[in-house]
Amino acid sequence: MLAQCSEHCAHIFHSFRENVTDSSKIQELIKLSHEAKSYAYAPYSDFKVGAALLCSDGTISTGCNVENAVYPLGICAERTAIVKAVSEGHRKFLAIAIASDMKDAIISPCGSCRQTLIEFGTEWDVYMTKSDMTYEVMKTGELLPHSFTPDSLNSEKISNAH
């Protein structure tokens, strides 16, 4: 556990120091996530969220939350950005930025979104911002330690499984 946890910490610092993308691109991504927030359809929570997803070819896909009178049917900004990108042929992502109106707190992805993010890899960057556009960054996999991944489905099962 210790070894794994040290590695975990290492990853965090790694992502701060040696990002896969240059800082002006990240600034643009963060700015777009804040702009995307303005399209949020959030009449029930009044909690608007925006996201901007950087695809491997440089394309940016934006998203916002889209709520529903039946609350469980809502879809988050991060997943909106993901499905939008996939529907346009993208499956490799470098980074996602997330924006909300929270003044003193970073907006982090919910558990459902984290699971959606790692479906497309555990090693890409999540920029969690405040309303002033300052941020913290973590790898997708760090946000869901010990995660259930596509590989889990193919894990060897016990013989008397069913």
Q: Please list every residue from 62 through 121 that binds Zn ion, using CB under 5 A.
A: 76, 110, 112-113
- Residue from the set 18, 22, 46, 57 that interacts with a second copy by CB under 8 A: 46
Q: Answer for the pair 132, 147: CB distance below 8 angstroms, yes or no.
A: no
Least Cβ distance, residue 18 to a second copy (angstroms): 15
Name the active-site residue from 78, 88, 119, 123.
78
The three-class DSSP label of residue 96 is strand
Q: Is 148 exposed, middle or buried (0-12, 13-18, 19+ CB in 10 A)?
A: exposed
Give the β-pairing of 49-55 and 93-100: antiparallel
> Which C-beta is closer to Zn ion: that of 3 or that of 73?
73
* Contact partner, 21, from Zn ion, a second copy, none, Cβ < 5-8 Å per class: none
> Which C-beta is closer to a second copy: that of 58 or that of 72?
72
- Residue from the set 36, 53, 54, 97 that interacts with a second copy by CB under 8 A: 36
Q: Which residues are CB-contacts of 153 (< 8 A; sequence separation ≥ 6)?
A: none
> Which C-beta is closer to a second copy: that of 20 or that of 42?
42
Q: Point out which residues pair with 66 in neighbouring strands.
A: 41, 75
